[in-house]
Structure 1
Amino acid sequence: MDRLQNIETFVRVAQTQSFAEAARQLRVAKSVVTTRIKQLEEYLGAPLFHRSTRVVRLSELGQAFLGDCMELVGRANDVVDHMRDARGKPAGTLRVHALTGFVVGHFGALLREFQTAYPDIRLELVVSDAVVDPVKAGVDCALQIFPAASTELVSRPLFAVRRVFCATPEYLAQSGMPDNPRDLHEHRLGLYSGYPTRDRWTFYDGNGAELTTYLQAALLTNSVHLLREYALEHAGIVCLPTLVAGEAIREGRLQIVLPEYQLSSFRLSAVYAGTLRNAFKLELFIEHIRSAFTRVPPWDAGLIDAGLLPEKLIEA
């Protein structure tokens, strides 16, 4: 019996609450997971899980056992990674879940540079706007703008994500430029569906005074890239993160609406389990992102230099 391998399998089943999902993440047959758990239970002399056709939950022994096992697996993987690094070759697979809005247009060069520096690290990148628990999703970290879903997760801020309302000059010439956030009610709006404030929008004027209004979307979607295409078709006013809209704004294809007002910004963060396997490889990856995107990301720096964005941020 490979005790460490069986303990790692136990941790994965406990985290996912599923033998089938643990098998998928470990890339083995479900029968292999079942055998490993059975071997561990026979060695301990007691069940680790209560199982039914629909539910897998920890037994009292399993609950007492889990914390130490997570720490043991994380430490074992970290030791191996450091041994590889001592030989100059960090290796293995790193699994990352990332927002579509961040990845498309900004991530290719970063990945190339990371793999040039660490050629033996294999990346598995899942791209989606869904908010995930990295543990249950079977990834080492999630790059997201929303808070960690659990106190057991660590959230490392990477950079600010600003948002602006914008439209094409053609649309604004035909439909008029809003002077006040409440004027948005008179326009066709395209809005992102995933913001936690939902229909409630708070604007800040140059003095920091707040104005809150409720906005109804003509197009509500979880794709910021679709919103950009919708705006470029002169269909209406949309709210976009500057990392998606910045290039079109600099080129004059989109124009910022209500430039005297700001929306609060979010933080793109790396979210991961506190007791993590692959911790060393993940630290290398996170530091690579942090060094590539300094305090002011390049898509914002160009807009600030052009006087299209204020330098000061308003944090959510």
Structure 2
Amino acid sequence: MDRFLSIEAFVRVAQTQSFAEAARQLRLSRAVVTTRVQQLEEVLGDALFHRTTRTVRLSEMGQAFYRDCLELVTRTNDLVDQMREVRGTPAGLLRVHALTGFMLGHAASLLREFQERYPDIVLDLFVSDAVIDPVKQGFDVALQIFKPVSDELVSRRLFPVRRVFCASSEYLLKHGSPRMPRDLFGHRLGLYSGYPTRDRWTFHRAGEDSVTLDLKPVLMSNSVHLLRDYVCEHAGIVCLPTLVAAEGLCSGRLRIVLPDYQLSAFWLSAVYARTLRGAFKLRLFIESLGASFSGGEPPWDKALIEQGLTPPQLLED
């Protein structure tokens, strides 16, 4: 019995609450993970989990054992990474869950630069707009606009995510341009379904009280890229993050609707477990992303600000 491998299997099952998912993340068979946990239970003389056909929960013994085991696994992996750093060759697998709107069209060059610098680090990158707990789902870090879902997670801000309502010139020529936020009720709207504010849309204008509306879209989607394609088909007015809309706005293919009003911005953040704050590969990855956006505005917003299409000040809730 390799005690460390058994402890690692125990920790992963505790995080995922599933032997099958733990096996998938560790790239082992379920039988191997089950055997390793059982061997650990035999050494301890007690069950670490309460198992049913549907659930896997930590026993009293398992709860007492888990936190120290998590710290042990994290610290051991970090020490191995540090030794690789001494040799100049950080290596191993880094699992990343990332927001679709950022990854498509903006992240490839950042990933290339990171891998050119650290060629032995393998990135397993899952792209989705789902809000996750990276610990429970076996990721080292999640790049998302939502706040951490538990107190065991921390976050580091990377860059602001501004939003604008926009439409094509053809649509506005045919249907007219809204002058006030309430004018949006007279238009076909496409809205992103994954914002933390859900159905609450608050419009801010200098020197005036803010206006909050419950808008009624004809199209809701968790894909900002689908909404961009929809607006480019002259189908309606949509709200897009500037990281997706900037190219169309700068080229003139799209126009900002209600340019005198601002929506609050969110932040794309790296969310990860408190216990992984010193993990070497993770630290390198987050520092690399942070350095890419440390010079002020992200490039897509800088282009919009330079053309006077969006105000330089950032509005946050």
TM-score (norm 1): 0.98
Aligned to 1:309: 310
> In structure 2, do the counterparts of structure 1 residues 32 and 222 end up closer, same or farther at CA, with 3 Å as the change threshold?
same
Aligned to 2:172: 172
Please say if 1:113 is aligned against 2:113.
yes
Provide, for residues 93-127 of structure 1, a one-character-per-residue CA deviation record: whole Å limited to 9, x for no partner: 11101111000000111111000000000111101
Query: How big is the shift at 1:47?
Result: 0.9
> In structure 2, do the counterparts of structure 1 residues 29 and 278 end up closer, same or farther at CA, with 3 Å as the change threshold?
farther
Task: Report matched runs for 1:207-246 at 5 Å.
Answer: 207=207, 209-246=209-246
Q: Is the 8 A contact 2:97 2:126 kept in 1?
A: yes
Amino acid at match of 1:80: V
Q: Is the 8 A contact 1:92 1:122 kept in 2?
A: yes
Aligned to 2:276: 276
- The secondary structure found in structure 1 opposite 2:142 is strand
State the alpha-carbon separation in 1 of the partners of residues 251 and 128 from structure 2: 27
State the alpha-carbon separation in 2 of the partners of residues 310 and 207 from structure 1: 15
Q: Is the 8 A contact 1:77 1:278 kept in 2?
A: no
Aligned to 1:134: 134
Q: Is the 8 A contact 2:203 2:263 kept in 1?
A: yes
Query: How big is the shift at 1:254?
Result: 0.5
Name structure 1 gaps, 5 residues minimum.
none
Query: How big is the shift at 1:278?
Result: 8.4
Q: Is the 8 A contact 1:77 1:277 kept in 2?
A: no
Query: How big is the shift at 1:220?
Result: 0.6
Query: How big is the shift at 1:208?
Result: 6.2
State the alpha-carbon separation in 2 of the partners of residues 280 and 20 from structure 1: 28
Query: How big is the shift at 1:223?
Result: 0.4
Q: Is the 8 A contact 2:15 2:137 kept in 1?
A: no
Aligned to 1:81: 81
- The secondary structure found in structure 1 opposite 2:25 is helix
TM-score (norm 2): 0.98
State the alpha-carbon separation in 2 of the partners of residues 49 and 213 from structure 1: 48
Q: Is the 8 A contact 2:162 2:266 kept in 1?
A: yes
Q: Is the 8 A contact 1:75 1:277 kept in 2?
A: no
Q: Is the 8 A contact 2:264 2:315 kept in 1?
A: yes
Amino acid at match of 1:47: A
Query: How big is the shift at 1:196?
Result: 2.7
Aligned to 2:262: 262
State the alpha-carbon separation in 2 of the partners of residues 306 and 313 from structure 1: 16
Amino acid at match of 2:131: V
Please say if 1:32 is aligned against 2:37.
no
Please say if 1:143 is aligned against 2:143.
yes
Count the aligned residue pairs: 316
State the alpha-carbon separation in 1 of the partners of residues 202 and 221 from structure 2: 20
Amino acid at match of 1:315: E
Amino acid at match of 2:298: P
State the alpha-carbon separation in 1 of the partners of residues 278 and 28 from structure 2: 19
Amino acid at match of 2:255: Q
State the alpha-carbon separation in 2 of the partners of residues 279 and 85 from structure 1: 12
> In structure 2, do the counterparts of structure 1 residues 198 and 38 end up closer, same or farther at CA, with 3 Å as the change threshold?
same
State the alpha-carbon separation in 2 of the partners of residues 287 and 116 from structure 1: 15
State the alpha-carbon separation in 2 of the partners of residues 107 and 177 from structure 1: 34
Query: How big is the shift at 1:132?
Result: 1.3
State the alpha-carbon separation in 2 of the partners of residues 198 and 148 from structure 1: 17
> In structure 2, do the counterparts of structure 1 residues 277 and 8 end up closer, same or farther at CA, with 3 Å as the change threshold?
farther
Q: Is the 8 A contact 1:140 1:277 kept in 2?
A: no
State the alpha-carbon separation in 2 of the partners of residues 234 and 205 from structure 1: 27
Provide, for residues 193-214 of structure 1, a one-character-per-residue CA deviation record: whole Å limited to 9, x for no partner: 1123222210110236311111
Runs of 4+ in 1 over 6 A off after TM superposition: none
Amino acid at match of 1:312: Q
- The secondary structure found in structure 2 opposite 1:126 is strand
Q: Is the 8 A contact 1:94 1:278 kept in 2?
A: no
Amino acid at match of 1:310: P
State the alpha-carbon separation in 2 of the partners of residues 50 and 129 from structure 1: 32
Please say if 1:292 is aligned against 2:292.
yes
Aligned to 1:187: 187
Please say if 1:247 is aligned against 2:256.
no
Provide, for residues 174-194 of structure 1, a one-character-per-residue CA deviation record: whole Å limited to 9, x for no partner: 111111101000110000011
Q: Is the 8 A contact 1:81 1:278 kept in 2?
A: no
Amino acid at match of 2:266: F
Name structure 2 gaps, 5 residues minimum.
none
- The secondary structure found in structure 2 opposite 1:191 is strand
Amino acid at match of 1:311: P
